[in-house]
Amino acid sequence: MSDLICVGAISGAFGVRGEVRLKSFTSDPTAIADYAPLFTEDGKRRFDVTITRPVANGLAAHLTGIATKEEADAMKGTRLFAERAQMPDLPDDEFYHADLIGLLVLDTGGVELGRVRAVHDHGAGDILDIMGPKGETLVPFTRHAVPTVDLTAGRVIVDLTEDDA
């Protein structure tokens, strides 16, 4: 399991005074500031976060060390991470995407399908991206399609049978 959890991304500058447009990946978008300090993926930069207001497609925010529009624009596309210790514990049936990446994937008969390469969210629900010997497989991350996630054992069981309904 990773020590850092991706909680948001900078989608560009907002205004001319160094604010960034921040896309939050937290269930309560403004809670992203509660998990500060936030870090770049390589851990080389650290930011305290002050949310200034909601804006279209995100939040306007001040990040420490970013003072100009040009600096904010240069950060566009940067994903922001929080330390796992800052994150709340989740109920048994919820998972951080970072915890799923790399897990072994088996079908209901025990046949190895590969490993979770990514978790995608295109708005209609999460999708597991599994890479295995037969290539890429995309599986909706629902209880029906993924009846078992066992973080302790490091595996996911998927049911690839089609629903007869």
Same fold, 4-86 and 97-158: no
Domain 4-86: which CATH class? mainly beta
Interatomic CA distance for residues 50 and 63, integer angstroms: 7
DSSP conformational letter for 144: T
Whether pLDDT at 148 is above 70: yes
Beta-carbon-side half-sphere exposure of residue 143 (alpha carbons within 13 Å): 3
- Domain map of the chain by residue range? 4-86, 97-158
Copy the structure tokens of residue 35.
């998990």
Domain 97-158: which CATH class? mainly beta
Tell me the pLDDT tens digit for each residue of 41-97: 998 999 999 999 999 889 999 999 999 999 999 999 999 999 988 888 888 888 888
Tell me the pLDDT tens digit for each residue of 25-45: 888 899 999 999 999 999 899
